[in-house]
């Protein structure tokens, strides 16, 4: 049976693309914090606590041990202030600026990076 891909669309401008590796000592949450800080052009310590927007422990449990393309279509999205954050199970992360709307486009292409 052929698996259909999941297309999630965004209407905001991508600012930062990041990726986490399951073999790394860096958790998905840490990579997201770094990506948000880069997008906002501030130090990570200046960000509001991530737990105000999403449960970091649950996020790390869901995405911490991905197995590449096998579950690449699993996707979590949440908003941190004016930033839309998209986390895909294959390790890709995209931070978009919600104050800069664009025509809707897929968040990620179907094929893994």
pLDDT band at 41 (very low <50, low <70, confident <90, very high): very high
- DSSP 3-state assignment of 111? coil
pLDDT score for 70: 53
d(CA 85, CA 94): 6
pLDDT tens digits, one per residue of 63-113: 876 555 555 567 899 999 999 999 988 889 999 999 998 888 888 875 444
Alpha helices in the chain (DSSP H): 28-40, 56-63
Contact of 81 with 6, CB cutoff 8 Å: no
* pLDDT computed for residue 66 by the predictor: 57
The four Cα atoms 29, 60, 80, 30 give a dihedral, to 10 degrees, of: 0
**C-beta separation of 105 from 10 below 8 A:** yes
Token pair of 40 as six digits: 């906002």
d(CA 49, CA 80): 10
pLDDT tier at 1, thresholds 50, 70, 90: very low
């Amino acid at each position: 049976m052929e698996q259909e891909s999941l297309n999630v669309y965004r209407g905001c401008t991508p600012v930062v693309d990041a990726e986490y590796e399951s073999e790394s000592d860096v958790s998905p949450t840490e990579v997201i914090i770094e990506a948000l800080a880069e997008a906002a052009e501030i130090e990570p310590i200046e960000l509001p606590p991530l737990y105000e927007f999403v449960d970091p422990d649950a996020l790390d449990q869901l995405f911490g041990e991905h197995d590449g393309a096998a579950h690449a279509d699993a996707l979590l999205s949440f908003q941190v202030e004016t930033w839309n954050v998209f986390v895909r199970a294959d390790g890709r992360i995209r931070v978009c600026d919600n104050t800069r709307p664009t025509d809707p486009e897929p968040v990620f292409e179907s094929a893994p990076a």
